[in-house]
Amino acid sequence: MCGRFVRSSPVSTIIEIFHVAAASFELSSSYNIAPSQDIVIINNTGTRELIKCRWGFLPSWIKNIPETSPMINARSETIDEKPYFKEAFRKQRCLIIADGFYEWKREKQKKIPYYIRLKSGKPFGFAGLYNYSSCPDGNKICGCAIITTESNDLVASIHNRMPVIVSENSIDMWLDPSFPDYNVLKGILRPYASEEMEMFKVSNTINTPKFDSATNILPTTEE
């Protein structure tokens, strides 16, 4: 699964790489994004848009929003079968913008945090699903989930799952809500190439979600 990630690139970089219009909201860096927090996604409702969304997905048929725990991850293997995600997979796919993500390795009684990113240092898009849920007060909330797959050789050394990173040549297809071939779309949901990624230990301070600092992603030798 993916339970924490980082988005540190400035909005100008995101606009340049993903070819979206300037955002109409402030976009500060976040080095310890946790579930239920606001994140930024790119969707396509005719043009690519950079919008705010909450990390946690609820399907449209959920009525008791306060009593339901949103899902933060969706498994790629069953995404076109599970009623919870099936409709969003067909029509409401998105990119969840990130610069890297955290994963923990179990060593005896300890959980050692690692930071994983692209060697290029560029931001990327997790494959995601989004939806709008109606609140009792009439407002609508955008919620989303990160799609996960089996780990590549790099990440497999610490965990058996990883988030799907959409390659640059698949972004148009993934974001197109009218793309008709769901088998082709599922083919996008595969492990990213290990040779294009890097991973290293980071400080245990990231275990506290409120600790949000650029020092979170610095390599460490602490035990």
Q: For every one of its 223 residues, what pLDDT tens digit does the chain have, with 9 covering 90 and above?
A: 789 999 999 888 999 999 998 777 778 899 999 999 999 999 998 889 999 999 999 887 766 665 568 899 999 999 999 999 999 999 999 999 999 999 999 888 889 999 999 999 999 999 999 998 876 666 788 999 999 999 999 999 999 999 999 999 999 999 999 998 999 999 999 999 999 999 999 999 999 988 999 999 999 876 6
Q: State the residue range of the domain holding 121.
A: 5-217
CATH code where residue 170 lies? 3.90.1680.10
pLDDT at 199: 97
In a domain, 222, yes or no: no
**What's the whole-model pTM score?**
0.94
In a domain, 176, yes or no: yes
List the catalytic residue out of 2, 94, 142, 144. 2
List the catalytic residue out of 53, 94, 103, 142. 103
- Number of folded domains in the chain? 1
Annotated catalytic, 103? Answer: yes
In a domain, 223, yes or no: no
Annotated catalytic, 142? Answer: no
In a domain, 107, yes or no: yes
- Mapping DSSP onto H, E and C, the string for the chain reads CCCCEEECCCHHHHHHHHCCCCCCCCCCCEEEECCCCEEEEEEECCCEEEEEEEECECCCCCCCHHHCCCECEEEHHHCCCCHHHHHHHHHCEEEEEECEEEEEEEECCEEEEEEEEECCCCCEEEEEEEEEEECCCCCEEEEEEEEEEECCCCHHHCCCEEECECCHHHHHHHHCCCCCCHHHHHHHCCCCCHHHEEEEECCHHHHCCCCCCHHHHCCCCCC
pLDDT at 56: 94
